[in-house]
Amino acid sequence: MFNITCSREAYLYFKHLGSLEVEEFWVVGVHANRKLVGGERVFRGTVDACPVYARDIFRFACRKNASAIILAHNHPSGDNRPSAEDIRVTQKLKEASRLMGIPLLDHLIIAGENYWSFADSGLL
């Protein structure tokens, strides 16, 4: 079973997003020991936008009985820096995770063969 204990391991799981031509938003659930319980694409958008709703992310987490979640989405533009909207959405999801009791461990932005981690950057 796959473990995700750091942003690099999460990137390896989500690496395939770097080659997509439209934005996709994914969630993975992990047990308390960071063993992967499953992952799925929860939203598919356009070349430069993707709608995100907390209810669908946490529905997945509850269905999988996940102890925590890790999020990722791609930037087809090749720029892995977070937009103002990425930061706003991540803060909303962080608050929802606190209310749900399902910690948000990280949110990665994948662009080509590079990634950016909210956790590593101190924004989670």
Q: pLDDT category, 18, cuts 50, 70, 90? A: very high
**How many Å apart are CA 94 and CA 30, to the nearest integer?**
16
The domain spanning residue 95 has which CATH number?
A: 3.40.140.10
Residue 39, domain member (yes or no): no
Q: What is the DSSP letter of 121?
A: T
- Strands 68-74 and 104-111: what pairing? parallel
Is residue 81 within 8 Å of 116, Cβ to Cβ?
Answer: yes
Question: How many domains does the chain divide into?
Answer: 1
Residue 94, domain member (yes or no): yes
Instruction: Report the pLDDT value the prediction gives residue 91, as an integer from 0 to 100.
Output: 97
Q: Is the pLDDT of residue 48 over 90?
A: no
Residue 113, domain member (yes or no): yes
Q: pLDDT category, 49, cuts 50, 70, 90? A: confident
Residue 59, domain member (yes or no): yes
Instruction: Report the pLDDT value the prediction gives residue 66, as an integer from 0 to 100.
Output: 97
Q: What is the DSSP letter of 65?
A: T
Q: What is the pLDDT of residues 76-106, one digit of tens each?
A: 999 999 999 999 999 999 999 999 999 999 9
Other beta carbons within 10 angstroms of residue 46's beta carbon come to 11
Q: What is the DSSP letter of 30?
A: E
Structure tokens at 100: 């749900």
DSSP 3-state assignment of 48?
coil
Q: The domain containing residue 56 runs over which residues?
A: 8-34+45-117
DSSP 3-state assignment of 51?
coil
Q: What is the pLDDT of residues 103-116, one digit of tens each?
A: 999 999 999 999 99
Residue 93, domain member (yes or no): yes
Mean pLDDT of the chain: 95
Report field, pTM of the whole predicted structure over 0.85: yes
Is residue 39 within 8 Å of 13, Cβ to Cβ?
Answer: yes
Instruction: Report the pLDDT value the prediction gives residue 1, as an integer from 0 to 100.
Output: 61
